[in-house]
Amino acid sequence: MIDLNGKVVIVTGGTRGIGLEVVRTFYTSGAKTILFGSKKETVDKALDLLKKEDKIVDGYYPNLNDFDEVSKVVKEINDKYGHIDILINNAGISANKKIEDTTVKEFQDIMNLNVNAMFNMSKAVIPYMKENHGGVILNTSSMVSIYGQPSGVGYPASKFAVNGLTKSLARELAKDNIRVNAVAPGIIKTDMTESLPKEVIEPLIKSIPLGRMGEPKDIANAFLFLASPLASYITGAILQVDGAARN
């Protein structure tokens, strides 16, 4: 059991799917956990669900593309808890349209949330981590950041950028004892994949050597490991959690 008692963690995109499971996992490991969502309604819904599970966490819904707003909320959290130890940049959106069907705005929206918001959150927390003599920043990448995908070019492009940001910040912040890593999930059982038709999902599963889709808990556990002292000499890594899928 990994013990993060006393650590303060922020999870963006923490209201559903992988992000919500990350919140559960870190809370269970003893961390003081704060989730971020896109709007008040989804944050309140997640907080109510967690409360029914006897998990009491904080929730906020800043515009992640507004650095001033992000900075204000991050300062509020640091003032309340006294430190911020772990940031998990999980918020993001996907895409699957061909380039000729993708509008310029749709491409920009993907880059704004998947890359710019990650930059804003990291920039906001780093000064507090430096004051606290260290910290951990973890980013959600994707298997398509390594292999690309046949359509929806904005999504893999953004995840290639996530990998670049991860590796570069790891080198820049190592002297400050701030580790930066990413988790690259494969095909994970979420609301989106569960809604796919049987004829679509079965061939996907057959393409995975381990013979199954991943569970959100598989990804949450990878984040937990990378956030823990067990990974104290790991930084700049892109950890593939995909059942050996190589597509």
Provide block-wise average pLDDT over 10 residues at a time, the chain (247 residues): 96 97 98 98 98 98 98 98 98 92 97 98 98 98 91 94 98 98 94 74 88 96 98 98 84
Number of structural domains found in the chain: 1
Residue 99 resides in a domain: yes
Tell me the pTM. 0.96
Please tell me the predicted confidence (pLDDT) of residue 190: 85
How far apart are alpha carbons 145 and 182 in whole angstroms? Answer: 11
**What pLDDT score was predicted for residue 203?**
84
Closest of 43, 8, 11 to residue 220, by C-alpha:
11
Q: Which helix (H) or strand (E) holds 236?
A: none
CB 156 within 8 A of CB 212: no
- Domain assignment of residue 58, yes or no: yes
* Alpha-carbon span 124 to 87, nearest angstrom: 10
- Domain span at residue 41 reads 8-188+216-233
CATH number at residue 161: 3.40.50.720
Q: How far is CA 61 from the centre of its chain?
A: 15
The pLDDT assigned to 195 comes to 66
The answer as to whether 24 is a domain residue is yes
Q: Would residue 155 show up in a list of annotated catalytic residues for this protein?
A: yes
Classify residue 243: in a domain, yes or no: no
Contact 65, 124 (CB under 8 A): no
Residue 23 forms part of a structural domain: yes
Instruction: Let me know if residue 245 belongs to a domain.
Output: no
Given this model, what pLDDT does residue 196 score? 67
Which two three-digit tokens encode residue 217? 């808990």
- Strands in 1-51 per DSSP E: 8-11, 32-36
199 domain-assigned: no
3-class DSSP assignment, residue 32: strand
Choose among 23, 28, 24: nearest CA to 10: 23
pLDDT for the residue numbered 90 = 98
Residue 246, phi then psi, degrees to nearest 5: -135, 70
Quick check: is 205 in a domain? no
**Burial, 80: exposed, middle or buried (Cβ in 10 Å; 0-12, 13-18, 19+)?**
exposed
Q: Distance (Å, rounded) from C-alpha 195 to C-alpha 190?
A: 9
The amino acid at 150: P
Among the listed residues 27, 60, 128, 155, the single catalytic one is: 155
How high is the pLDDT of residue 247?
Answer: 56
